[in-house]
Structure 1
Amino acid sequence: MLGMNRLEGAPLRAAIVVTGAFYFTLLGYDQGVLGGIIGQPQFLDTINNPNAIIQGLVVSIFDVGCMIGCAISGIYGLALGRRRAVILGCMLIVLGGAGQAAVYHIVQLVVFRIVTGIGLGIVSSNVPVWLAETSKARKRGQKVAVQLCLVLTGNVTAYWVNYGMGFTSGEVVFRIPIAWQCFYPLVAIVLALGLPQSPCVLYYWGEVNSGDEVLRRLYGGTEGADTALPGDTETSTALAAERTEILREIASEQQQQQQQRTPTATAGAKSLLLQSLGAQNRGRLLLIITLQSLQQLGGCNITAYYQTTLFSTSIGLPTNLSKLLAGFSAICFLLGTLPDVYLIERLGRRRLMLLGSCGCFTTMLLFTVLLALNTPSASWGAVAMLFSFQLYVPSHL
């Protein structure tokens, strides 16, 4: 950790990416772990065998916690800064994961699922921004694609850990997989302690000298050199341009906030949509919100949570085979991210998303039709469509 305080340039940016990697792997693991154990008899006996509605509540309450965490981050994110917010969120995840692993009652499970979700919401709102604020612009698209690849790595890990633990007996069947989620945030905390705050946040706080120093380190300047880095004209120009752009954006935001405090300004969300944003930016914001909502409604998380249930209950396959197929389906999800790492800067975000959305629509439609036919051959066709759906989802996201 002390050695990380001396990192500069590409090694420093790589360290920030690695720290984020543990979070994104955790995100995928959390998405998959409970879906694999929700049907385990040992787990259901421990929480007094709730009905299907309560089981759905236990799974979905995690996302409610994530929403709360995102809201907290939206209000207090800049005051905390990216680094401290990530550490706080990871601490909540460790607390929630430990509480779930020691579950003895369904109320305890629900409470700690919410705590974990809050922590994940805080971290998920800050890690991508932290990465973007410390990355060079031409690398941001690929880093986003790699992040999704890491999410699916965690998802695959969760399914295969659950499958392997299914051959054991007793409560370790579910306690070890749940407890394992604490590993990722613990490592992320240790790494984050040795990393600098985002220069954008430091400039926002008015700590210009500290912001200059972090920006210099990110561009690989030698210790004690001024911000302009006169020894490298290309780097000096890029650094100065980024510094100017950051300070300009902060000044613009502060000016808008000052205008909102005037007696004629309307406070709250109405101000955000009607006053502080121009018509063009307001349309962009609403478009982003709509697209993100539709992506989630498309079934990507539902299939991640309930793959085993889809294979066993909806398609009617044996339990052990369903778990095995869920593990291979998660691998398909992971494999679907690999082309995106290469294509995202070549095809562009819009074309790649349209390609993934068309693929998801077609495969899910065929999956539904084949389920309705309810014949042995149609059931295996539905399995194939679910696998194909997982291949298209990464591009859709």
Structure 2
Amino acid sequence: MGGVVGYSGNTFAQVFDNPNPTVTGLMVSLYEVGCMFGSIIIIFWGDNLGRRMSLVIGGFIVILGTVIQASSFSRVQFIVGRIVAGLGNGMNTSTLGTYQSETCPAKNRGRVVTCEGIMAIGGVWISYWLDFGMSYAKSTVQWRLPLAVPAIFALAMSGVAFFMPESPRWLALKNRDDEAKEVLAALAGEDVRTDDESILEMHNTIRQAIDYETHMSGEFSFRELFTGGELQNFRRICLCFGIQLMEEMGGINLITYYMSNVFLQIGTGHFLALLLSGINSTTYFISSFVPIWLIDRFGRKSLLIYGTIGMMCMMIMLTISLSFGPANFTAGIFAILSIFLFNIFYATGGWMATPFLYPSEISTLRLRSKGSAISVLSKWMFNFLVVMISPVAMANIGWRTYIIFAVLNFVFIFVLFFFYPETKGLELEQVDKIFTGGDPITRGAIGMRRPLGAENHQPSQDFLDKSGHDLSKHIEDVGKSSEV
């Protein structure tokens, strides 16, 4: 949408009666409302559908919404298409991180989910260059083709997901243990059998974690999302909700959705704005590869803090540069540079992928799909807020808009440091132990280099199953089978 809105005279504006900034913001941002409802579907029914079928169904809903958008001749039809496409995308984004986290070993889970972020930024890269190329068209194909292309990717995703194996942890959660072992063996390698010792140990660890969660909380109830106790579910849900809030309110969607508008605000012409948007999306895409080598080495938390500091500095630089007005050539150069560097800090800091990975890592298995979906619900809720208010803010307060995001990024640095624990290198079942240590406020977020390394840990009675087996010991020993 970034390359087809924001300027009069193009065929999009002609078909939809030259919408003003408020209507433009509404037409663009109602996509996020659809995404929010898609996340809600996963919260309530994701565990019934399963990870794989959620992706298949979500992809086909995206295709339907894309067709409605691309064939629109009225604002109402276009808005319906945006909401429908968003519904499917909300289901997809609520499920992908969970599915990937549950099928990856701890040693490279961050790298694998980072690849998802690279593909997402690759979509931004394709979209801006497609917008640039289609800007030369004189008919409505100028915007209909760019809005139709996502259907190709949605079809490919649904087709691939249909033939992929189901998550072994979801299968175990549904007591389909034989199938879970088959998937674990398949993920381990062609020559690994289901009765291999490493497979049995990994499956036993997953089974013990499920039994422990059931022992602690009984049959699932949505009330668990708002309770503390030994499992600290409410704190985990707050962390899930907060990480996507920070990702959205850091300013990335102001830049991504309205990048061409921002360049126009600097004083460029329409052609140069589209060209710079395409070049910027290219550097953005290239930068997104960097976390592959960093996220499992330096950790999620360190990268996010580094990226947030950089984003804050670039918002300050953009604010100062734009305050000189579009007539100041030197200030305009610095403003353009700050936009490029903002995207680079966002990408290299892991902000594209980590918010989808982190909720899956810190949530218990029985709440994992709900924690991820609540996180994505937060994403689309604040995405809607930013996308809706940005055109109005830029039209009314101009360069002062960016002060808001500079201040928010400053606050987020401290939130990340004091409240978000590091999860690199830990199996999903090991992460539970982070929440049982540390001081009462940060609870393992700082001062716990190896949360599972307490050699003298004595299990409480809550960590014993009905047969007296120490479930916490099983959870701590899961690293022995990390090759799986």
Q: Same fold judged by TM-score > 0.5? A: yes
The answer as to whether partners of 1:355 and 1:396 remain within 8 angstroms in 2 is: no
2:123 paired with 1:163: no
Q: Deviations over 1:349-385 (max 9, x none)?
A: 1111111111000011110111011122111211111
Q: Which residue of 2 aligns with 1:4?
A: none
**Alpha-carbon distance, 1:283 to partner:** 3.3
Q: Which residue of 1 aligns with 2:195?
A: 228
Within-5 A mapping of 1:135-284: 135-222=104-191, 227-229=194-196, 236-237=197-198, 239-258=199-218, 268-269=222-223, 271-275=224-228, 277-278=229-230, 280=232, 282-284=234-236
Alignment gaps of 5+ in structure 2: 352-484
The share of aligned pairs that are identical, in percent, is: 29
The answer as to whether partners of 1:95 and 1:116 remain within 8 angstroms in 2 is: yes
Q: Which residue of 2 aligns with 1:25?
A: none
Q: Deviations over 1:86-116 (max 9, x none)?
A: 0000010000001101011111111111111
Matched residues in 1 for 2:216 and 2:85: separation?
Answer: 35
Matched residues in 2 for 1:94 and 1:178: separation?
Answer: 11
Q: RMSD between aligned alpha carbons? A: 1.8
Query: Relative to structure 1, is the Cα distance of residues 228 and 268 closer, same or farther in structure 2, using a 3 angstrom cutoff?
Result: closer
Matched residues in 1 for 2:158 and 2:246: separation?
Answer: 33
Q: Which residue of 2 aligns with 1:104?
A: 73
Matched residues in 1 for 2:218 and 2:231: separation?
Answer: 20
The answer as to whether partners of 1:85 and 1:122 remain within 8 angstroms in 2 is: yes
Structure 2: which amino acid aligns with 1:119? G
2:99 corresponds, among 130, 142, 146, to 130
Matched residues in 1 for 2:184 and 2:297: separation?
Answer: 28
Instruction: Kindly report structure 1 stretches of 4+ aligned residues shifted beyond 4 Å.
Output: none
The answer as to whether partners of 2:165 and 2:183 remain within 8 angstroms in 1 is: yes
Q: Which residue of 2 aligns with 1:384?
A: 337
Matched residues in 2 for 1:283 and 1:88: separation?
Answer: 31
Query: Relative to structure 1, is the Cα distance of residues 372 and 288 closer, same or farther in structure 2, using a 3 angstrom cutoff?
Result: same
2:262 paired with 1:302: no
Query: Relative to structure 1, is the Cα distance of residues 170 and 340 closer, same or farther in structure 2, using a 3 angstrom cutoff?
Result: same
- Structure having the higher helix fraction is 1
1:331 corresponds, among 266, 270, 282, to 282
Structure 2: which amino acid aligns with 1:49? N
Within-5 A mapping of 1:81-120: 81-120=50-89
SS of aligned partner of 2:3: helix
**Alpha-carbon distance, 1:396 to partner:** 5.4
Q: Deviations over 1:201-256 (max 9, x none)?
A: 2222222222222222222255xx85222xxxxxx32x223211221222233345
Structure 2: which amino acid aligns with 1:217? A
2:34 paired with 1:65: yes
The aligned length equals 346
State the TM-score, normalized to the length of structure 1: 0.83
The answer as to whether partners of 1:91 and 1:119 remain within 8 angstroms in 2 is: yes
Q: Which moved more, 1:282-291 or 1:62-71?
A: 282-291
The answer as to whether partners of 1:48 and 1:105 remain within 8 angstroms in 2 is: no
Matched residues in 1 for 2:215 and 2:78: separation?
Answer: 45
Larger relative CO (CA 8 A, sep 6+): 1 or 2? 2
Matched residues in 1 for 2:346 and 2:269: separation?
Answer: 26
**Alpha-carbon distance, 1:284 to partner:** 4.2
Matched residues in 2 for 1:372 and 1:259: separation?
Answer: 58
Alignment gaps of 5+ in structure 1: 1-33, 230-235, 261-266
Query: Relative to structure 1, is the Cα distance of residues 317 and 226 closer, same or farther in structure 2, using a 3 angstrom cutoff?
Result: closer
The answer as to whether partners of 2:121 and 2:284 remain within 8 angstroms in 1 is: yes
**Alpha-carbon distance, 1:268 to partner:** 4.2
